[in-house]
Amino acid sequence: MRATYSAWLLVIASACGMAQSGPAQSSSIRTSGFNVVETLSVDASDAPTKVFHARMTIPATAGDFVLLYPKWIPGEHGPTGPLADSVGIFFRANGQALAWHRDPLDMYAYHVEVPKGASSIEASVDFLSPVETPSGFSAGTAATEKLALLSWNWLLFYPRGLGSDQVGVKASLKLPEGWQFATPLPQESASGARVEFSLASLTTVVDSPVLMGQYLKKVPLQAGKSPAHELDIAADSSAALAMEPQQVQAFDNLVAEAGALYGARHYREYHFLLTLSNHVAHFGLEHHESNDSRTGEGYLTDPSQWTLGAMLLPHEYTHSWNGKYRRPAGLATADYEEPMKGNLLWVYEGLTEYLGYVLTGRSGLQTPEQWRELLAEIAMTYSHRPGRKWRSLEDTATAAQTLYDAQYAFTNYRRSVDYYDEGALIWLEADTIIRQKSNGAKSLDDFTHLFHGGENTPPMVKTYTFDDVVNTLNQVQPYDWRGFFTDRVLKVAEQAPLAGIANSGWTLVYNDQPNAIGKLEEQDRSGLDTTASLGLVLGKDGSVDDSIEDGIAFKSGIAPGMKVIAVNGRKYTKEILLAAMKEAQSAHKPIELLIENTEFYRTVSLSYFDGPRFPHLVRDAGKPDLLGDIIHPKVTSLPAPFTGE
């Protein structure tokens, strides 16, 4: 899972099934031999009204029969099933309405009184897709007048006591008139607005969302090769579906480079389900044979949105290997009721973040220059994270379910889902260590071949532990990998893990030139990031979104929730503040800020004389350019950059 870039910076300052506590490897995808088979008929024809309807038949036994509504949604790392928006719930048997009550200790459990003689019940439920939730992942806004992304878990129940691999689901779907659809879920038939899907496990159905819309474009990638790959794009306008040839080439490269990186694929076919709308939640959610990625309507037509969103599809695609096929044992749960353990998310998400960045570079979704500027931004963020003094990276992973929705204010002190990008820095360092110790003969690509590759298979889950990660790394290159991760992940580590940058032949520097990625991000959110100078992350109109706890501004009493009204007596703009910082540097005079806090005004004088400071990487000629090697395409050639011209 991943937030899109603007949401991401505001997060960083910047998802099963098998037998109970299962074997290390579960069998490949199940299409028969289920303990029970349910039917699930979803009516999405009212999608523009944001109300989705479902009817189910569920085999049942007489007495107090307990049905569960999915609670822990795979990939979301928390109990995020949208319970409050599942409404209009009725149960019937033999034509009679059945009484039900919610379990007082488990809101997701419904007790249904099933009469003697009844062997199945009919359930109906509506889902109210949120109209104003900007985040919320798959529970967030998902429908507009022109498109919708259906997550089946909104609209279903399953019997308590059965794992999601033991329940078969025969699903069908009714689309809005004139809309098309795309999904990895195998179909029996599709005619007009009706689609009949093949019998599949509950695991597979929940893992196979459906993208639908009036404007829907299907682009085959690596055409003619097996397994099949398809980029499926739904947008709020037909104009938003336009793509230049180099953009198609970059996506095509992504599929080829991923094949080279992992050495095998673990899906029957793969669908990139891409939603382009300014009116849906923006994030990416991984699935085994697809990803549900949602970003702005201008992603394919506006070069800055293209650049800022470049990492989204590579990250979610990587999860098919790292997260779905290989999964930490604590995240491989039998059903959606069993709580997930997040402590290895620094592998699940951190390694995915790193490999996603690597594939972003190798496919040409970003230029090498943009890629290095992004890395510099990440290095800056985690070098100004006072929260690292009290909290280990592992603790941010263990507490993941509390952090995704935490307020952005004080992120630097609380820490956030730092296992993504700080994880990426640590995996970069691991990659450089392998390259150095093996004199260039080996790299992290050898680890991914061993850990994620093997034979091509349909979806299956191979679980792992910390020891498995350490042991596989030692197979690639003997080293104290246990100590390496213990120091950086398990223990409190006050210093950011930046050695990978130095090892790879580059140096992190700060100067007054804007960072190319930081500048696009600032334009996108109308803000200014002075993390490395004043220690303020400013939002629209001077609002203080965060204030670095050991920064000069915070020490002078400027904190999140306040607003910078004026700079040296003149109304705040980002340009005025940057000019004042330069003036303070040359004249050695403090900067006077007028601050508003809860209706009160106050003047704060900042004795800061080092001018604007933005992060960049510069080449260290004394060392080989390993970064260049890491992001160099292995089996494709770079497309021309997309500049919109």
User: Is the Cβ of residue 320 or residue 547 nearer to Zn ion in the bound state?
Assistant: 320
Which residues fall within 8 angstroms of residue 367, CB to CB, at 6 or more apart? Answer: 641
Min separation Cβ 398 and Zn ion, Å:
17
User: Is the Cβ of residue 355 or residue 376 nearer to Zn ion in the bound state?
Assistant: 355
User: Is the Cβ of residue 4 or residue 247 nearer to Zn ion in the bound state?
Assistant: 4
User: Is the Cβ of residue 444 or residue 594 nearer to Zn ion in the bound state?
Assistant: 444
Q: Are 571 and 535 in contact (CB under 8 A)?
A: no
In the region spanning residues 511 to 570, those forming contacts with Zn ion, defined by CB under 5 A, are none
- The beta strands (E) that lie in 534-590 are given as 536-538, 544-547, 563-567, 570-571
Min separation Cβ 349 and Zn ion, Å:
5
Q: Rounded to the nearest 5 degrees, what angle is found at the Cα of 49, between the Cα atoms of 45 and 54? A: 50
CB atoms within 10 A of CB 53: 17
Cα separation, 636 vs 260, in Å, equals 10
User: Is the Cβ of residue 299 or residue 317 nearer to Zn ion in the bound state?
Assistant: 317
How many C-alpha atoms does 145 have within 13 Å on its Cβ side? 2
Min separation Cβ 566 and Zn ion, Å:
41
Helices in 276-342 by DSSP H: which ranges?
303-308, 312-318
Question: What is the enclosing helix (H) or strand (E) of 602?
Answer: strand 600-606
| Closest residue by beta carbon to Zn ion | 1
Tell me which residue has tokens 């822990």.
72
Min separation Cβ 91 and Zn ion, Å:
36
Site string (333-372) toward Zn ion, x via CB under 5 A: ----------------x-----------------------
Stretch that binds Zn ion, among 2-10, 53-61, 375-383, 552-560 (CB under 5 A): 2-10
Q: How many helices (H) and strands (E) does the chain have?
A: 20, 33
User: Is the Cβ of residue 349 or residue 394 nearer to Zn ion in the bound state?
Assistant: 349
Min separation Cβ 72 and Zn ion, Å:
16
User: Is the Cβ of residue 146 or residue 324 nearer to Zn ion in the bound state?
Assistant: 324
**From its phi and psi, is residue 630 left (phi > 0), alpha (psi between -120 and 50) or beta?**
alpha
User: Is the Cβ of residue 359 or residue 593 nearer to Zn ion in the bound state?
Assistant: 359
The Cα-based distances of 212 to 390, 478, 502 in angstroms read 46, 49, 46
In the region spanning residues 252 to 281, those forming contacts with Zn ion, defined by CB under 5 A, are none
Min separation Cβ 137 and Zn ion, Å:
11
Site string (408-437) toward Zn ion, x via CB under 5 A: ------------------------------
Min separation Cβ 423 and Zn ion, Å:
10
Min separation Cβ 77 and Zn ion, Å:
9
State the number of binding residues for Zn ion (CB under 5 A): 3
Q: Give me the sign of the Cα torsion angle 220, 254, 635, 438.
A: negative
CB atoms within 10 A of CB 135: 16
Residue 2 touches Zn ion, criterion: CB under 5 A? yes
* Contact footprint for Zn ion (CB under 5 A): 1-2, 349
